[in-house]
Structure 1
Amino acid sequence: MAYVGGGPGVLDGVASSEPEVSDGLKSFGAVLKALREEAGLTQEEFAPQVRYSVHAVAKLEQGKRFPSVRFIERAGTVLEAPRVLKAAARHLTRRQGLASWFVQWAGIEEEAISLYAYECRAIPGLLQPEAYIRAIFERRLPPVTEEQLERETAARLERQQLLTQKPNTAFSFVIEQALLERRVGGVGVTRALIDHLLEVGKLRNVEIQLMPLQQEDHAGVDGQMYLAETPDNQWIGYTEGQRSSTLITAPKDVSVLLQRYGKLRAQALDCRATVSLLEHMRGAL
């Protein structure tokens, strides 16, 4: 997604995959660490109280992860400093390397216990290997600088850690076969993409389904969609346009998306058939 699909975190061959650290994130992290230490808590003691991993808390204190609204609320309560933390986060309007209009969904993504995606424009960002990410960014108009390319690639790769860091979150992806047939970036990039999809598809919490080129009954004619189930078991929808996005929260509208996504899963190839098709496509390259 632009940022989820062709784009909705990466690294060059040798550099770190960590996103660039902004002054705002570093400042928030420093405040968080100072409050935690003042409360007499270690990261290991603090993490379970805010329902985050120790690794995630460390990233937040280092300024390498964007704090979600839910985290700020929980941490403020635990540390008895809600106003201080909210003030520290007030100017964090965007995450490094992510479009400003995508940041809110990125936060929802991190908290989701179920995440569904249907893409007809580009491979979902959470499933893009580095070669594919770079192929997309290198062809973007207006052209990006080398610094922008590295920063945005790193941000997308960092987001992909959700797939392994959240083993209890169910991820479902329905992807149009045509996106692979397009061969963005050439044969080498497409081969790397297929290999990546086959590997990620082995994860117990990830389901990848291809929508075949020919499908007379197709529920996705209105375009791509993303759906997330919050820890409170509420569903939120998300769609993207040209340099814009829409968050869908009205229950009746979210219900429509859930119905359509359910139909898309039934119309697409199942996971085993998808693996067979991917292997066949790779062999034909």
Structure 2
Amino acid sequence: MKKLTIEEISQTLVNQVEADEEFIQTLKKDERKGVQRILERWEKQQEKEQQLHKKYIEMTSFERSLRTQGFQYIAGIDEAGRGPLAGPVVAAAVILPEDFYLPGIDDSKKLNEQKRDEYFEKITTEALAFGVGIIDAAEIDRINILEAAKKAMLSAIIQLRPNPDYLLIDAVKLDVPYPYEALIKGDARSATIAAASIIAKVTRDRMMIEIDREYPQYNFASNMGYGTAEHLEALKRYGATPYHRKTFAPVKQYL
């Protein structure tokens, strides 16, 4: 049998969906250093994919358990933007199909911007339903941030069609006509909540980028409204914008 070139071996491994054990064993006996480097990289990639698959299975345990109880439309709910000094609080609710698969999904804060955008497109394209609730700074000041976050969540939930029959919510208790479970750190424990987390954060970040165009001196596109040293300095110098939360302590002193 003709000996494959290193490039041919690399392409063969890239195109393999499942490992051909006989081929792998042949490569292990190949004395060429280039072949061994390719094989080592491939084995590391396989290990990484297995770990991501295992974690994804763990993150769907709540959903799988609920489906065995007869629930079909399980919605995950999460919010983004409770801590910043400026901008809205945004919540998302999402119902994923049973066969949805996205290894690597996690709490949106643990993902880089490129991954969040990539996952946002897959989630919003393949979801059975999703909704987004947005509460602006003026309303946050009027009812407080916790109530605003809950209001945003409720707004997102009522947009869902089909209606959910069970809710998995990140750490917040809501007055809703559906059975639900509030999971502490739910965005790292449930794939459905993690999906909602990604929708909420990407939506909010894009809004802050738009607000940045209106008020570039605060650099909202970078700090997303959080109280960075640069943001606080801009507050001190220019005062508060209509997007600032005026009941938040660091903003109050610059009114």
Task: Settle same-fold status: TM greater than 0.5.
Answer: no
Answer with 1 or 2: which has the greater Rg: 2
What is the TM-score with the length of structure 2 in the denominator?
Answer: 0.27
Higher helix share: 2
